[in-house]
């Protein structure tokens, strides 16, 4: 009987963890003006930690909601993390990502989607 109670508690905890993961994801529709997102980052630097975290937490959900938008990830040693948003007519916006966390990057994307 005790084993069943432990399994039940563990299962409920897993369900709550999964719900928390889904509420934290950046599953939102990006602007139709966006032609490409390009993220440049270093695989190991502390300044790129937030960019790596953003990719791990949000890439899949962003791709599901924006399936035709190219989202390019470019890793290069010792590069400063940056997000490039390419819009129509070749206009590009560069957002420095150094020392930002994943939530900050989501906010930048939402700001550019709204504008």
pLDDT digits 0-9 by tens, 11-34: 444 444 544 444 444 467 888 899
pLDDT digits 0-9 by tens, 52-75: 999 999 999 999 999 999 999 999
Q: What is the pTM of this model?
A: 0.74
Cα–Cα distance, 57 to 49 (Å, whole number): 12
CA angle 57-99-60, nearest 5°? 15
**Cβ 57 vs Cβ 105: under 8 Å:** no
Task: Determine the CATH number of domain 27-114.
Answer: 3.40.30.10
The CA-atom distances, in angstroms, between 47 and each of 55, 66, 108 are 14, 27, 17
């Amino acid at each position: 009987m005790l084993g069943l109670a432990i399994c039940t508690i563990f299962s409920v905890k897993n369900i709550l963890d999964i719900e928390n993961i889904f509420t934290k994801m950046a599953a939102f529709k990006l602007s139709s003006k966006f032609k490409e997102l390009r993220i440049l980052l270093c695989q190991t630097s502390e300044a790129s930690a937030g960019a790596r975290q953003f990719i791990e937490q949000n890439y899949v959900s962003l791709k599901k909601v924006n399936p035709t938008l190219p989202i390019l990830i470019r890793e290069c040693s010792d590069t400063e993390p940056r997000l490039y948003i390419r819009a129509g007519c070749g206009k590009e916006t560069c957002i420095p990502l150094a020392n930002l966390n994943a939530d900050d990057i989501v906010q930048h994307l939402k700001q550019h989607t709204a504008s």
